[in-house]
Structure 1
Amino acid sequence: MWHQQEIHFPEMPQGFHLVTDDIARALPCLAECSQGLLHLQLMHTSASLTLNENTDPDVRHDLDAFIRRLVPEGLDYFRHTLEGPDDMPAHVAASLLGAQLTLAVRDGRLALGTWQGVWLGEHRSQGGARRLLATLNGC
């Protein structure tokens, strides 16, 4: 079985957002797949996807704080500034974390570890709606 579709997310505030359940709800065909792979590709250059701790909200806070400190706004050597002071730092953060994940599917569900979840990292203060291309292959 091959299935591909876009998943749409509304504009979210800057930070990390747990989207595991949103992805699973948008893909009812997961239930038909006993084993396979789900590839997720974020169709943007200033946001990211990452797999990490899904329970303690402090992890999301701490990762956001670290990324903002690692790539702060207002660095004087950035040239790409026409879209605002948060744009180039958002591109750097997205490149560091990545814009795609490939996840195993087992018994009709994402095969995640006990504490794992998929996060969408919004690295702009007003990034707008986001699109995620999901491609499922399995049987």
Structure 2
Amino acid sequence: MRQALHRFTQATTRKGLYDVTGPIARWLGGQGIGTGLLTVFCRHTSASLLIQENADPTVRTDMERFFERLAPEGAGYVHDLEGPDDMPAHLRAALTQTSLSVPVEDGRMLLGTWQGIYLFEHRAAPHRREIVLHCWGD
């Protein structure tokens, strides 16, 4: 068994879904692990990860709109020290995931044809989000 660990930063400019499939796939392809398990981890409490459709961008638009309705700004939250988008960001992150597990075969993620991995930025201001990749296998 072999393990590999890597961190990378994804810049965001606004709330929304950022496709991070490419950088993850490129890193994984260079690790020499044919069969294994990849963990993708977001080191933040106001951003998250999703595996979602990567073909039609209107899916991302609808996802973003849904979460805006589900956890809106200005809903009377007690936690507001970092601004009106902070507590809704924490709620949205709690409803999604900060960690994903993806099987690996022949050195590639076994994502479905229309699946991509997205960083879901829940804050309005630009951020630099750190994502940790860990893969183990043969």
Tell me which interval the TM-score lies in, with the shorter structure as reference length.
over 0.9
Paired residues, what number? 137
Contact 2:42 2:98 in 1 (8 A): yes
**Aligned equivalents of 1:10, 1:123: Cα separation in 2:** 13
Task: Tell me what 2:128 maps to.
Answer: 129
- Of all paired residues, the percent bearing the same amino acid is 43
Task: Tell me what 2:23 maps to.
Answer: 22
CA drift of 1:127 comes to 4.7
Task: Tell me what 1:98 maps to.
Answer: 97
Amino acid at match of 2:94: S
**Aligned equivalents of 1:92, 1:46: Cα separation in 2:** 8
Task: Tell me what 2:106 maps to.
Answer: 107
Q: Which moved more, 1:115-124 or 1:5-14?
A: 5-14
Task: Tell me what 2:69 maps to.
Answer: 69
- CA deviation string 1:61-119 (max 9, x = no partner): 0000000011000011x111010000000000001001110101111111111111101
Contact 2:12 2:121 in 1 (8 A): no
Partner-residue secondary structure (3-state), 1:10 = strand
Amino acid at match of 1:46: S
TM-score, length basis structure 1:
0.94
Partner-residue secondary structure (3-state), 2:80 = coil
**Aligned equivalents of 2:104, 2:28: Cα separation in 1:** 12
Q: Which runs of 5 or more structure 2 residues have no equivalent in the other structure?
A: none
With over 3 angstroms needed to count, the CA separation of the structure-2 counterparts of 1:37 and 1:133, relative to structure 1, is same
Amino acid at match of 1:104: P
**Aligned equivalents of 1:119, 1:138: Cα separation in 2:** 24
**Aligned equivalents of 1:69, 1:80: Cα separation in 2:** 19
Q: Which runs of 5 or more structure 1 residues have no equivalent in the other structure?
A: none
CA drift of 1:28 comes to 4.0
Contact 2:50 2:120 in 1 (8 A): yes
- CA deviation string 1:42-76 (max 9, x = no partner): 00000010111111000000000000011000011
**Aligned equivalents of 1:133, 1:127: Cα separation in 2:** 19
TM-score, length basis structure 2:
0.94
Task: Tell me what 1:47 maps to.
Answer: 47
Contact 2:49 2:96 in 1 (8 A): yes
**Aligned equivalents of 1:111, 1:35: Cα separation in 2:** 10
Task: Tell me what 1:10 maps to.
Answer: 11
Backbone CA RMSD of aligned residues: 1.2
Task: Tell me what 1:79 maps to.
Answer: 78
